[in-house]
Amino acid sequence: MSDKLSKVKEILGEVFDLNRAAAVLGWDQQVNMPPGGAEARGQQLATLGKIAQEKFISDEVGSLLEDLKKEFSDTETDEGAMIRVAARNYDKARRVPPEFIAEQALAATKAIEAWVEAKGKSDFSIFRPHLEKNLELIKKYVSFFPPAAHPYDVLLDDYEPGLPTAEVREIFDNLRPKQVALIKAIGGAKQIKSDFLQKPLNEKKIWDFSERVIAEFGYDFKRGRQDKAPHPFETTFSVNDVRITNRYEKSEPLATLFSAMHECGHALYELGGNPAYERTPLAGGASLAVHESQSRMWENLVGRSLPFWQHFYPDLKKTFPSQLDGVNVKSFYKAINKVKPSFIRVNADEATYNLHIMLRLEIEIGMVEGSIEVKDLPEIWNAKMRDYLGITPPDDAQGVLQDIHWSYGAIGYFSTYALGNIISAQLWEKINREIKNLEEQIRKGQFAELREWLRVNLHQYGHKYDPRDLVRRVTGQDIDPAAYVRYLTKKYTDVYGL
Apex 344 CA angle, 340 and 347, nearest 5? 65
Domain endpoint, select from 115, 135, 155: 135
Domain membership of residue 145 (yes or no) is no
Instruction: Report the alpha-carbon distance of residue 234 to residue 266 in Å, rounded.
Output: 6
Classify the C-alpha dihedral 382-197-227-447 as positive or negative: negative
Domain endpoint, select from 135, 155, 181: 135
Whether 111 and 185 map to the same domain: the answer is no
Whether 46 and 182 map to the same domain: the answer is no
Whether 234 and 86 map to the same domain: the answer is no
Is 263 labeled as catalytic in the residue annotation? Answer: yes
Which listed residue (160, 211, 263, 350) is catalytic?
263
pLDDT at position 334 is 97
Residue ranges, the chain, pLDDT below 50: none
Largest CA distance in the chain: 70
Whether 113 and 224 map to the same domain: the answer is no
Whether 246 and 368 map to the same domain: the answer is yes
Whether 121 and 225 map to the same domain: the answer is no
Instruction: Report the alpha-carbon distance of residue 419 to residue 358 in Å, rounded.
Output: 11
Give the domain range for residue 298.
165-496
Whether 128 and 255 map to the same domain: the answer is no
User: In the beta sheet, which residues pair with residue 245?
Assistant: 227
Please return the burial class of 191, using the count of CB atoms within 10 Å of its CB with bins 0-12, 13-18 and 19+.
Answer: exposed
pLDDT at position 347 is 83
Domain membership of residue 112 (yes or no) is yes
pLDDT at position 170 is 95
Instruction: Report the alpha-carbon distance of residue 95 to residue 104 in Å, rounded.
Output: 15
Whether 94 and 220 map to the same domain: the answer is no
pLDDT at position 231 is 85
Whether 102 and 213 map to the same domain: the answer is no
User: In the beta sheet, which residues pair with residue 243?
Assistant: 235
Domain membership of residue 183 (yes or no) is yes
Domain membership of residue 140 (yes or no) is no
Query: For 232, what's the count of Cα atoms within 13 Å in the CB-facing half-sphere?
Result: 24
Domain membership of residue 157 (yes or no) is no
Cβ proximity of 421 and 487 under 8 Å = no
Domain endpoint, select from 95, 116, 135: 135
Whether 196 and 118 map to the same domain: the answer is no
- Total number of domains in the chain: 2
Q: Report the CATH number at residue 192.
A: 1.10.1370.30
Whether 114 and 44 map to the same domain: the answer is yes
Whether 123 and 176 map to the same domain: the answer is no
pLDDT at position 1 is 66
Domain membership of residue 51 (yes or no) is yes
Domain membership of residue 152 (yes or no) is no
Domain membership of residue 19 (yes or no) is yes
pLDDT at position 498 is 82
